[in-house]
Structure 1
Amino acid sequence: MPGWAPKTKGKLYKLHSAATVLGMFLGIFHAMLLVIDTFMPFSWAELLLPFSAEHSPLMNGLGTIAAFGMIAIILTTDLRNKLNKKVWRALHLCSYPTFVMALIHGMGVGSDTNVGWIFISYVLTFAILTILLIIRGFLGGKRSLAHFAGRR
């Protein structure tokens, strides 16, 4: 965010990195639980091949694509210094559609979506992401817009 102190940005970056890795591990754990679930088990093929699930293929396919997107974003972030800056930025911007696909997947087939605090967490994470995107992209000034669009 423009105007924030470097120390604050550093702390937020560490939190962002930790949350990303934790999210990936929770996603992998989620897939593993689906394989051993006795109520509605999924095969590894259904989990790894988008839109191949017997139950809700579209919604589950979005979850599979979101998982692959998250893996790609994490791996390319780890390789950031070895990648062209524009390529890395383009790949990292894929985190937005990846988030939206994961959100649609969760709201569409999540067995706990009707639980009040789960639904509120979906709405709040979407709202927070949208607000931060607006602040970063539109309220940060011309330099921020150029940076957001990948130009300098």
Structure 2
Amino acid sequence: MNDVLLNLPSWTITRVAGLAGYYSLFIGVMLGIVHGMPNVKGKWKKRSYAWHARMQAAGLFLSIAHVMILSIDTYSPFTWGQLLLPFSYPENRIVYGMGSMALYGLLFILLTTDFKSLLSRRIWLIFHMAAYPVFFLALVHGLIAGTDTNNPFVFWSYLGTATALVLITFIRVGTEGIAPKRRSTSIS
């Protein structure tokens, strides 16, 4: 079994898992913002929440796969201690640590959501807003530590996802307090 694992194209798999985890995180955060928009109602609200949760879980799963595969990779070997303890890898300590913190942050957000009923809404919302720094930690980690950043598609997709997240956040904040108008039921 060890021979099978060691002969996998681990460097390719870990890169794909890292990118897929990042894009899943992006989609999940975007859908979370859309879910909170005042004009999103009914089945669209339920669907946006369901896909938000799925994409965040997929992002966590893929990010964990990214880390686990790095533990067997021979191209860029990491020890378990370096993978699990943020800022402990001797090279690019800050950037690799940011990736670790993004993973732990995503895990924290998902766990606190699972225990949402035990928290006040205000505390849960504060915890949930950690999705913004988690996303940007993952973005910077990918931009600087990612070996695919020199690929124009990957580079521009990083910038595009960051821009889209900022824009949808401004739209969401701009719609705060705006409720859809109700039809008048009075007869004149």
TM-score, with length taken from structure 1: 0.89
Pick one of 126, 134, 137 that aligns with 1:101: 137
**TM-align CA RMSD:** 1.3
1:15-57 deviations in Å (ceiling 9; x for gaps)? 1111000000010010011111111111111111111102210
CA distance in 2: counterparts of 1:123 and 1:69, whole angstroms: 21
1:39-91 per-position Cα deviation (integer Å, ceiling 9, x unaligned): 11111111111111022101001111111100000111111112111110000
Q: State the 1:116 CA deviation.
A: 1.9
Deviation >3 Å, runs of 4+: 141-144
Q: Distance in 2 between matches of 1:109 and 1:25?
A: 20
Instruction: Spell out the pairing of 1:99-138 with structure 2 (5 A cutoff).
Output: 99-137=135-173
Identity across matched positions, percent:
38
Larger Rg: 1 or 2? 2
How far the C-alpha of 1:143 sits from its partner, in A, is 5.9
Query: Looking at both structures, which has the greater relative contact order when contacts are Cα pairs under 8 Å and sequence separation is at least 6?
Result: 2
Gaps (5+ residues) in structure 2?
1-36, 180-188
Unmatched 5+ stretches in structure 1: 145-152
Partner of 1:142 in structure 2?
Answer: 177
Partners in 1 of 2:176 and 2:60 — Cα distance? 33
Q: Hey, what does 1:63 align to over in structure 2?
A: 99
Task: Kindly state the Cα deviation for residue 5 of structure 1 after the two structures are TM-superposed.
Answer: 2.4
| C-alpha distance 75-141 of structure 1, shift in aligned 2 (>3 A) | closer
Equivalence map 1:13-32=2 (5 Å): 13-32=49-68
Aligned-partner residue type, residue 142 of structure 1: G
